[in-house]
Every structure is written in structure tokens, then in C-alpha cells.
Amino acid sequence: MPSAWKVQVRQLKIESYALYLAYCDPRTPWYARLLAGAVIVVWLAVAVWLGRLALNADTLLS
């Protein structure tokens, strides 16, 4: 049985792909694209922050 963390990660992947598809659709209004772009930037910033946190934890444990 998958852990709750893996289920949330899978759901985030699905939602991020849906966001990407909505962003690329030419029928999407500009303000929705702006919001989607902002969400993507925040997700990337969090991913980088978590990556650095994991890197620092690995460095500290070594």
C-alpha cells in the first residue's frame, strides 16, 4: 500500500500536468495563464528549496 506521501506526490504530478495543458491551450484567457505561471514559479521555488534542504541534510549526516 503506497504511503500518504507517495499518493500526494502522484496527485501533484497529475494536477501539474493538467495545469500545463490548460496553460498551453490557446482558448485560456491571459489572466488564467498568468495565474498558472505564478503557480508554476512557486512550485519550482519550493522544489529547489526542498532539494537544497535535502542536500544540506545529506551533508550534515555524512
Annotated domain spans of the chain: 4-61
Residue 30 has pLDDT above 70, yes or no: yes
Grid coordinates representing 56 are: 544540506
Crossing angle of the two packed helices 4-24 and 30-61, in degrees rounded to 10: 150
CB atoms within 10 A of CB 39: 14
Residue 29 has pLDDT above 70, yes or no: yes
Q: What is the predicted pLDDT for the residue at 34?
A: 92
Residue 41 has pLDDT above 90, yes or no: no
The per-residue pLDDT of the chain, averaged, comes to: 78
Grid coordinates representing 38 are: 505564478
Residue 45 has pLDDT above 90, yes or no: no
